[in-house]
Amino acid sequence: MSIQRGTHALGPESGTLTVRTKRTGAAAKAGHNLVIDVTAWRATLEIGEDPARSSVELDADATSLRVREGSGGMQALGDDDKANIEQTIDDEVLKGQPIEFRSTAVAIAEDGSRISVQGTLTLGGKTGPIALELAIGADGALGGGAVVKQSDWGIEPYSTLFGTLKVVDEVEVSLDASLPSR
């Protein structure tokens, strides 16, 4: 499917914005790889008549991250464990600061099936460059994402147990959504 010209508004009603973390360190077996959903976000894809005038914007509420699942670890994550992780993300990692992405350049493949986006990400109070790739499926599915290195945004990856259990610096952020049919 080729992406249609015009404005495409996306949010939790049309897709998911997900963060995946992995663990490392001598005590990694005690921790969990996490799948975290961002539950409050909005994105706008503006596809212009002239593809060079296209843009992508995304705003996410840093306090809306919810642990969906944890794999690995010595025992399964319970609801209290998930709530504690969410509180730690709010208080110590993201500190409730806005998450924003604004494109600076958008390139659309000739067949309209892929979009390469360059832009700036504001995370943890710091703004820096990032690139992402999006694919448009035959059924109107939009998917893609980027790897975010937390330290590039001044975020020290979470660690516990005297540093023997840590979150890997690189986290994977992915978007899976359905474009509105026209």
Supply the pLDDT for residue 110. 86
Residue 182 banded pLDDT, cuts 50, 70, 90: low
**Residue 115 CB burial class (10 angstroms; 0-12, 13-18, ≥19):** buried
- Which domains does the chain possess? 6-178 (2.40.128.110)
pLDDT at 2 over 70: no
Residue 147 banded pLDDT, cuts 50, 70, 90: very high
Quote the percentage of the chain above a pLDDT of 90: 54
Lowest mean pLDDT among 47-51, 74-78, 79-83, 161-165: 161-165
pLDDT at 174 over 90: yes
* Rounded average pLDDT over 32-52: 91
